[in-house]
A = this chain, B = another copy of it.
Amino acid sequence: MTYCVGLLVRDGLVMISDTRTNAGIDNIACFRKLHVFEEAGSRVLAIASSGNLSVSQSVLSLLNEGLPNADTGGTETLADAETMFQAAQMVGRAVREVYRRDAASLEQQGSHFEASFLVGGQIKDGRLRLFMVYAAGNFIEATGDTPFLQIGETKYGKPILDRAVTFNTDLYDALKIGLISMDSTMRSNLAVGLPIDLMVLRRDALEIELRHRIEPGDAYFEDLRHRWSEALKTAHLAIPRPRYGQPVS
């Protein structure tokens, strides 16, 4: 299982991903799912992936090595995308190419073609943008109204995002809330787990501001988990018990 979240706020972009991959609960391994393509001063792209690991790794290999372009007859890599929109389109075409190659064989073996991607970043003087690309190669974009996108095991971690994140949220508050969302997911689904990869890209910086892997024992994350757990307990204790059916005192 996987959980990845991207948050696009006024000051920048945060992307967070767990690293756990499993084929059944007795076959659990750690793979990087957050990939950063950076040419400092010119472009920063980050791609987080969810779904069948062979599919998402093939998509990333195609984006690196060259994807057939039917229009030009040549191949193109992610480095050729001149805008974030073109980058999202290219990820979509790579997914369709892997589908064309692998989907029928996967189905024959009872495996389902599953893949989704978060594609965030900024290219030259274009806008900082964040997209979610589906298995069909189509995609949607985060907006000021909904400044976050999630892939994988998304539901456990959504309530805190729904309540706490707006476009005006501080960049490092967005990182913090993203980590709380990740914590909620890990608490309720053991197939999502540490380490966690994260990156922070400030708007118009064209250079990664922070890249970090949270390993087991990370002091900040352990403190966050503890404080959040205590805060939730305190929060519900501060709410009066229901008095339905009892006389109003």
Which residues of chain B are near A86, meaning CB under 8 Å? none
Set B160, B172, B212, B236: member contacting A164, Cβ < 8 A: B236
Distance between Cα atoms of A209 and B244 in the complex (Å): 10
Which A165-204 residues have C-beta < 8 A from chain B? 170, 172-173, 175-177, 179-180, 184, 187-188, 198
Contact assessment for A232 and B235 in the assembled complex, using a CB-CB cutoff below 8 Å: yes
Min distance, Cβ A186 to any Cβ of chain B, angstroms: 10
Given A239-B176, A243-B220; A232-B170 close (CB under 8 Å): no
In this complex, what residue of B is CB-closest to A178? Answer: B242
Which residues of chain B are near A102, meaning CB under 8 Å? none
Contact assessment for B242 and A176 in the assembled complex, using a CB-CB cutoff below 8 Å: yes
**How many subunits of this chain does the assembly comprise?**
2
Contact assessment for B235 and A231 in the assembled complex, using a CB-CB cutoff below 8 Å: yes
Which residues of chain B are near A162, meaning CB under 8 Å? 187-188
Contact assessment for A245 and B159 in the assembled complex, using a CB-CB cutoff below 8 Å: no
A224 proximal to B (CB < 8 A): yes
Set B155, B156, B179, B241: member contacting A173, Cβ < 8 A: B241
Given A176-B242, A241-B172; A232-B156 close (CB under 8 Å): no
In this complex, the interface size class of chain A, counting residues with CB under 8 Å from chain B, is 35 or more
Which residues of chain B are near A158, meaning CB under 8 Å? 156, 188
Distance between Cα atoms of A158 and B186 in the complex (Å): 12
Contact assessment for A163 and B232 in the assembled complex, using a CB-CB cutoff below 8 Å: yes
Contact assessment for A241 and B175 in the assembled complex, using a CB-CB cutoff below 8 Å: yes
Distance between Cα atoms of A156 and B150 in the complex (Å): 14
Which residues of chain B are near A175, meaning CB under 8 Å? 241-242
